[in-house]
Structure 1
Amino acid sequence: SPWRRQRELGRRDSRLPERQHGLQAGERAPDAPLLGAGGQSLRLFQLLQGPDWNLLAYETHGKVIDARRGLRIHHIGEQDELIDTLGHFRESYHLAPGQCVLIRPDGYVGAFFHGKQSNDIENYLSRFAIGIKDEY
């Protein structure tokens, strides 16, 4: 039921994708200092503000999923729009290159994915009725 799925969003014992170590789905997303492509300093929390979900793609080297309303996609890595120069993002989120983390609008982790699992990401977003694909 939709109510049950909504309750699962913040529970560490939910049936959502799980990991063996580090940050887990249902935990508060940590902040991290980053550099924008133009060299400007910013905080991850600045990017997470607002009513949208955020997909943080770590060193995925290209498109992960199609754009959709209600979802902002941020690419973080040495060659991406956002640079983790101090390694705080990588350490806080325990991500390997190619992995993604989905952050809910309330600032909690929704799920972790590998960037090549675009169907899993799409299914997760559809399950929680997160927007529809936009044509760009």
Structure 2
Amino acid sequence: MERSNNINRSIAIFLICSCGFFIWENYVVIKELNAKNSLFQLQKSQMERNDEKSNEISCGDVLQRLRDIDGMEILNFAGDGKGKIIVHVEIKGDKAEILSAFKKVESKKNFYSMDNIRMEQDKDKNIKAAADINFIP
């Protein structure tokens, strides 16, 4: 009887020690995973910040894109804190030239919309169109 008690006691001690060992190993693994996860989250946030910086557009980029359009004159240039750039332009020419210029503007990178389009006709049958062009990152 004492022998079976000793065996049972030995088995119980072994099981308790092995449970303690596995709990400790589980704690170590979870601690390592949390450390790696926090490092991963830090790297991810840094990459997102870098992506945001690379997605920003500058006034120079917009000016360079609009410079190659014939007959377009930039009257005013404004930007808000959110990265949106608004350009007030004036285009002179006939209907086909103005339509072509507006289509070229629409095809530019980061183009968002055109607002406040106004058209006037000169005495020489030339048309002068003014518009606010919005660019976003």
Q: Shorter-chain TM-score: which interval?
A: under 0.3
TM-score under structure 1 length normalisation: 0.22
Instruction: Give 1 or 2 for the bigger CA radius of gyration.
Output: 2
